[in-house]
């Protein structure tokens, strides 16, 4: 799945998906759940809380 | 909002139109709000500097108007937040952020200097610094031509902005209809 396709599925812009992937933006609970559902995984699997990562 | 909405609350909601798709998705909305805050702060300092400069050149009414116009957006923002049980000043005090203290000191100092310059003008009848004299008759000479052009250009520019904005809005609406994403 491309970033654009994922963005369309979860109703956000592609730039937002990029920002989430790069750790520049922490999605809301609702968006995180939509992304996890779209990718067939869970929020815990997709989003870690590594203190070493950028915000 | 935890208070019963007043007429002012309803006007504010209408102005903000927070459900508008123009804000984009949640990240775009957050960035938009941050940028608005940045714009507010920039306007605050620009108004402050403008008031100080005007008072140095002997103006009395203009600095007061500029200071009022500068304080109004900040007061409006504080009112909006308080209606939603967020108190910006308390947050700043509790955080003890150095940047907040610097901002308060700079704002207070420039305000004090502005009023000091105005006091000088009022008491002595002369400006702190004499302003260069500019005699401009619209339509005459280089400056007069520029002044006339600026006024007419401003009117045409304003009308063009309205027309351009409406065309842009209709184009975007047509695009949304084409991809079946029309919002009710």
Tell me which DSSP letter residue B179 carries: T
Domain ranges of chain B: 7-133, 134-184
Query: Please, are residues A43 and A33 in contact by the beta-carbon 8 Å criterion?
Result: yes
Give the model's confidence band at B155: pLDDT under 50 very low, under 70 low, under 90 confident, else very high: very high
ipTM higher than 0.90? Answer: no
| Cβ count within 10 A of residue B59 | 20
* Average pLDDT of span B81-91: 88
Give just the sign of the alpha carbon dihedral B131, B133, B139, B145.
Answer: negative
| Tens digits of residue pLDDT in B8-53 | 888 988 888 888 888 999 999 999 999 999 999 999 999 999 999 9
The answer to whether the predicted template modeling score (pTM) of the entire model surpasses 0.95 is no
Interaxial angle between packed helices A29-39 and A3-10, expressed in degrees from 0 to 180 and rounded to the nearest 10: 120
Which chain A positions have a beta carbon within 8 Å of B24's beta carbon? 13
Predicted pLDDT at B135: 74
Which chain A positions have a beta carbon within 8 Å of B28's beta carbon? 13, 15-16
**CATH code of the domain occupying A3-46:** 1.10.260.40
Which of B21, B22, B24, B25 to probe the A interface (max A CBs under 10 A)? B25
pLDDT at A29 over 90: yes
Query: Please, are residues B51 and B59 in contact by the beta-carbon 8 Å criterion?
Result: no
């Amino acid at each position: 799945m491309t970033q654009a396709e994922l963005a369309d599925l979860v109703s956000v812009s592609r730039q937002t998906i990029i920002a989430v992937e790069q750790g520049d933006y922490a999605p809301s609970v609702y968006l995180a759940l939509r992304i996890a559902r779209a990718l067939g995984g869970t929020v815990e699997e997709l989003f870690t809380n590594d203190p070493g990562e950028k915000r | 909002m935890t208070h019963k909405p007043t007429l002012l609350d309803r006007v504010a909601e209408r102005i903000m139109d927070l459900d508008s798709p123009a804000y984009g998705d949640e990240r775009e909305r957050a960035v938009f709000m941050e940028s608005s805050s940045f714009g507010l702060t920039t306007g605050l300092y620009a108004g402050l500097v403008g008031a100080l400069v005007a008072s140095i050149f002997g103006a009395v009414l203009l600095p007061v108007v500029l200071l009022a116009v500068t304080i109004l957006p900040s007061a409006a923002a504080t009112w909006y937040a308080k209606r939603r049980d967020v108190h910006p000043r308390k947050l700043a005090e509790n955080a003890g952020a150095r940047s907040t203290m610097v901002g308060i000191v700079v704002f207070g100092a420039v305000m004090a200097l502005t009023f000091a310059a105005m006091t000088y003008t009022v008491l002595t009848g002369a400006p702190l610094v004499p302003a260069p004299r500019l005699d401009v008759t619209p339509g005459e000479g280089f400056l007069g031509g520029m002044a006339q052009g600026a006024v007419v250009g401003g009117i045409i520019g304003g009308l063009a902005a309205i027309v351009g904005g409406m065309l842009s809005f209709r184009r975007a609406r047509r695009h949304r209809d084409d991809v079946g994403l029309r919002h009710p």
